Amino acid sequence: MALLGVPDPYSFELSTGRYRAFGVDRANVWYDGALHRVVGDREVRIAAAPGGVDVEPLDAETEPVVRRLLGLDFDLQGFERVAAGEPVLARLVAQLRGLRPPLAPDPFESLVTSITAQQVSLRSAFAVRGRLIERYGGYRGAHAIAFPAREALAAAAENELARLGFSRRKAGYVIALARSDLDLEDLAALPDEEVKARLVELPGIGEWTADWFLARYLARPRAWPAGDLGLRKAVSRFYGDGRDLTTEEVRALGARFEPFQNLSAHYLLAGLLTGA
């Protein structure tokens, strides 16, 4: 066993729930109680273990990916201290203790996934994402397939993606992103608003997609996707006093969770999903 220690608090069950909730994710496959992901030309298996997680193989190449998949670098202790003074979050933290939101290991994958999920259910998005991975993915492990490389989708045609379930418009967005000159890795060095400004210059990437990129790839603590329908429903349920809040009202409420808007959003969404 190759043990990777995890920070306290941590719940493997809760933190990997997203990989089981919306159907099979061909790049992050839950099988036989473990998560499988291709890193380079190897398939990595991640399972719960006393004192941490069992990662096979565990080395300098696989560890950073595993840490992102399990959300290990979030400041959950700091979040819990702040949440203790906010009654709704305090209750959710107690019920969902140890939930660490998973992060996308790759910026291109993160954006393509968000484009796929625009204005459709997450189950539908996962199904289309799965077909995309099957068709254009790289190395194939026993369970997982490497997410398609940017070069592979840059060479694709719109009608090919349409046959996988993309609308013509979304197919064009994915191909335009793949062919763009924007260095996605360099975005990590920029402040939040500059990241958003760069992204929304691309076809099909608006504020919603840019906000989720900040939240689910860059792990920016103040990312707050106020325009997300699911988050609006969650905030309305917990703070709306029986009415549906507007996007602007949700955006304004983000200041309540300073400086942990990102983790707050994930806990509110998880609370809505689980009925907490």
Whether 255 is covered by a domain: the verdict is no
**What 8-state DSSP symbol labels residue 187?**
G
Residues 178, 120, single domain; the answer is yes
What is the rounded distance in angstroms from the CA atom of residue 224 to the CA atom of residue 235?
12
Which residue shows structure tokens 């670098």? 73
Say whether both 121 and 64 belong to one domain: no
Domain boundary among 58, 73, 88: 73
Check residue 91 and report its DSSP letter: H
Q: Are residues 119 and 26 in the same domain?
A: no
Q: Are residues 64 and 118 in the same domain?
A: no
Residues 154 and 211 in one domain: yes
- Measured distance CA(8)–CA(10) in Å, rounded: 5
Cis before 221? omega within 30: no
Q: Which two tokens stand for residue 27?
A: 């790049």
Q: Which residues neighbour 153 within 8 Å (Cβ) at sequence distance 6 or greater?
A: 112, 136, 174, 175, 177, 178
Is there a domain that residue 60 lies in?
yes
Residue 201 lies in a domain: yes
- pLDDT for res 196: 98
pLDDT for 275 equals 77
- CB within 8 A of 83, min separation 6: which ones? 89, 90, 92, 93, 260, 264, 267
Q: How large is the angle between the packed helices 261-274 and 76-83, nearest 10 degrees? A: 80
Question: Can you spell out the DSSP letters for 92-123?
Answer: HHHHTTT------SSHHHHHHHHHHHTTS-HH
For residue 273, the model assigns a pLDDT of 86
For the domain that residue 190 is a member of, what is the CATH number? 1.10.340.30
pTM recorded for the entire structure: 0.95
| Residues 161 and 66 both lie in one domain | no
55, part of any domain: yes
The total domain count for the chain is 2
Does a structural domain hold residue 232? no
Determine the Cα–Cα distance for residues 265 and 232; give it in Å rounded to an integer.
Answer: 10
Residue 266 within a domain = no
**DSSP at 256:** G
| Bridge partners (DSSP) listed for residue 46 | 35, 55
Final residue of a structural domain among 50, 73, 96: 73
What is the pLDDT, as a whole number, of residue 226? 96
Which of 216, 246, 266 delimits the end of a domain?
216
| Domain-located, residue 95 | no
- Contact partners, residue 114, CB within 8 Å, separation at least 6: 208, 209, 212, 213, 216
Q: What is the DSSP letter of 50?
A: T
Q: Could you list the pLDDT tens digit for every one of the 276 residues in the chain?
A: 799 999 999 999 999 999 998 888 999 999 999 999 999 999 999 999 999 999 999 999 999 999 999 999 999 999 999 999 999 999 999 999 999 999 999 999 999 999 999 989 989 999 999 999 999 999 999 999 999 999 999 999 999 999 999 999 999 999 999 999 999 999 999 999 999 999 999 999 999 999 999 999 999 999 999 999 999 999 999 999 889 999 999 999 999 999 999 999 999 999 998 877
Distance CA 134, CA 112 (A): 15
Same structural domain, 133 and 48: no
Kindly state whether residue 92 falls inside one of the protein's structural domains.
Answer: no
Q: Which domain holds residue 146?
A: 107-216
Q: Is 90 exposed, middle or buried, given 0-12, 13-18 or 19+ CB atoms closer than 10 A? A: middle
Look up residue 174 and give its two tokens. Answer: 């994915």
Residues 211 and 111 in one domain: yes
Same domain, 116 and 212: yes
For the record, the structure tokens of 109 come out as 């994958």
Residues 6+ apart with CB under 8 A from 183: none
